[in-house]
Structure 1
Amino acid sequence: MKENKYDDSGFFANYSQMPRSIGGLDAAGEWAAFRALLPELKDKKVLDLGCGFGWHCRYVREQKARSVVGVDLSENMLERARAMTSDSEIEYRRLAIEDIDFHAGEFDVVISSLALHYIKRFDQICEKIHHYLVPGGSFVFSVEHPIYTAVAAQDWHYDEQGEKLHWPVDDYCIEGPRQTRFLDNDVIKYHRTVTTYINSLIESGFRITKISELLPTQEMLDNPDWKDAIRRPIFLLIAAVKL
């Protein structure tokens, strides 16, 4: 399913007001963990899948990457990215992640931030990325954690006083679409297990180098928006290299 909620004017307006949409990478709680997984970027050719406003594209160029291709299905996203970018070595393309088509060994690094849980066939994307990377090339991505995506409601279980009791996990091994609410809209996300993420990478010819479930720092826990993050993981981040 190639869902494109971001070209809905109301949804995009709500998304544009999110802290990460305004403040960029520094306002994204998982950014420090994601950045720590990135390889040396100097002189590298980079592909960003689900590039959104282009924050990661601009960052890797700041790290002296040779060139960047940012892919996104939303014209609203790409229009904003182009308006915020003045760099001839960053190219934005309107394309569904499922439809990417590049040459073998075209890139040194492929990144994706919080986009691949919208993709039905993660294994097929892994195979494509493996083909597009040079030998030894890096694939670094983040997704919503499978503990977070297992139940479509993506919410706590509350007591009668409205206090958070626990985060429910059910149907964990039943992979597939989950219709959830995001920014007051129905959105389809694809739940898959940690096992599927890991084995899809291995079977596609990657070696996993590091995994993060984003243990919150004390600074993050001092922020009311993150105080519950210690109780269950929100993100899964993985770094892998092409064998």
Structure 2
Amino acid sequence: MAQTITIPALDGDGAIPVYIAKPSGTPRAAIIVVPEIFGVNPGIRKKCDDWAAKGYLAAAPDIFWRFAPGVELDPDVEAELQEAFGYFAQFDADLGVQDIEALIKYLRANEGTEKVGLVGYCLGGRMAYLAAARTDIDASVGYYGVMIDQMLNESHAIANPLMLHIAGDDGFVSPEAQQAMHQGLDDHPRVTLYDYPGLDHGFAAEMGNRRDEAGAQLADSRTEAFFKDHLG
């Protein structure tokens, strides 16, 4: 069962739209799915539906709800890609973390899911890192997260497990940024990094031209095992 609901923002100023997909029985746990810069589009909804089929309650927040509510974009359409870059420039990561915290609290209080994990893509991958550093999320996974190399000073605050999937030929995360991530995080006891040589940003997208089937299946299998270990 899937539906879009709204939950109160942490400061009470507005309501966050959230796509929720529920399993047929009692959820094993909840998984927050943080979108790329293209909104809660069909690919993100499919990821939620797939988690629900595996027994998890999956919830994808509309991260652009403050200035572009309900937007759904296709990265394979150049005009929509450029529109998405504009939304990325407007996005406030600090408020984004607050929205994730609001959703964590909602899921624990209202959906009976004591454990909550998070998986994010692109901008969502960046938010996976920040959620691990700033919230009590039980486990986080980031795919090709952007700008993480600029936030390594927060790594000391990561208390729960974090996994990061790094695209070796990522057009938005330079080799220097990837090296900095390894230097800053390889020795962290709670962080696991996986590299995917030759793969570009977006390789695990559910739909469209960016998907690399073998890479996506490998990364997704690691994510599923990670959540099974840490969420149940």
Q: Quickly name the TM-score band, shorter chain normalised.
A: 0.3 to 0.5
Higher-Rg structure is 1
Query: Which structure: greater helix fraction?
Result: 2
TM-score by length of 1: 0.33
Query: Which structure: greater strand fraction?
Result: 1
* Higher RCO structure (Cα 8 Å, ≥6 apart): 1
